[in-house]
Amino acid sequence: MKTLVQASTLNALMLGNFDETVNVKDFLHHANTGIGTYTGLDGEAIFEDGVAYKATADGKVVTMKPEDGIAFGTVAQFDESVPEIEFKDIKDLEALKKALEPLVKDNKNVFYMIKACGNFKTMHVRSCFPSEKPYPTLSEVARNQREFHHSHTWGSVIAVFCPAYVNGINLPGWHFHYLSGDKTQGGHILGLSADKISVKINKIERFDLTLPRNPEFAKRDLCEDLSAKTEAVEGSKK
């Protein structure tokens, strides 16, 4: 059975808990693929083939070291041996979600991870600048992000689907990140289009959550319903 390994909760991140929850080495101990963000909310994390990449707000992609810290993220050991499904004429991110719907509709109470490879006609991504302590909330940081519009870029979309009942712990529905094949472009996806992409999907029925150990985490009220703010910041709608 596949396991979704998660570091921290989304509400903790929303409220500014940007300290390290786990380092890259431990996070990828039993996992090779996923998404997240680093200590200080420094850039967008993309984990591919067991390597941790950071798409920074100044438009670069760098490879992270084993001792670098992850504030929040979700990873799994992605099974590449599953059949490839071809999607055609993906006009926007909503069209991609619609194309994915038949693959998840029979059971939306489990997690899924996809890897979608292809040549993207357009790829609209964002990344956040790192924050210093005392950390602001994620909504405040989101005003200080950079957006990039790439065109004709080849690479991988890595996305995680979470069930609605994990609201507050993670983002219900799909959360998409991008990394180009040459590892020079990437980020949190706000929009995309492609004539043809190949999709692999893994169903995940086990969940492993590591909670932060910084003292601020212990004091936070993590029960507040932040779903509207979360969708505004972490969702794909803008």
Q: Which residues bind Zn ion (CB under 5 A)?
A: 188
Q: To the nearest whole angstrom, how small is the minimum distance from the Cβ of residue 186 to Zn ion?
A: 11
Q: Token digits for 139?
A: 């909504």
Nearer CB in complex with Zn ion: 115/188: 188
Report the C-alpha gap between 214 and 20 in whole angstroms. Answer: 8
Q: 59 vs 85, which CB is nearer to Zn ion?
A: 59
The torsion angle over the Cα atoms of residues 134, 167, 77 and 179, rounded to 10 degrees, is -60
Tokens linked to 168: 């507050």
Work out how close the CB of 6 gets to Zn ion at its nearest, in angstroms, rounded to a whole number.
Answer: 14
Task: Provide, rounded to whole angstroms, the least separation between the CB of residue 33 and Zn ion.
Answer: 15
Nearer to Zn ion, 85 or 232 (CB): 232
Torsion 88-113-192-119 (CA) sign: negative
Nearest of 109, 112, 89 to residue 99 by alpha carbon: 89
Cβ proximity to Zn ion: between 85 and 136 the closer is: 136
Question: Least separation, in Å, of the C-beta of 215 and Zn ion?
Answer: 26
Which residue sits closest to Zn ion, CB atoms considered?
188
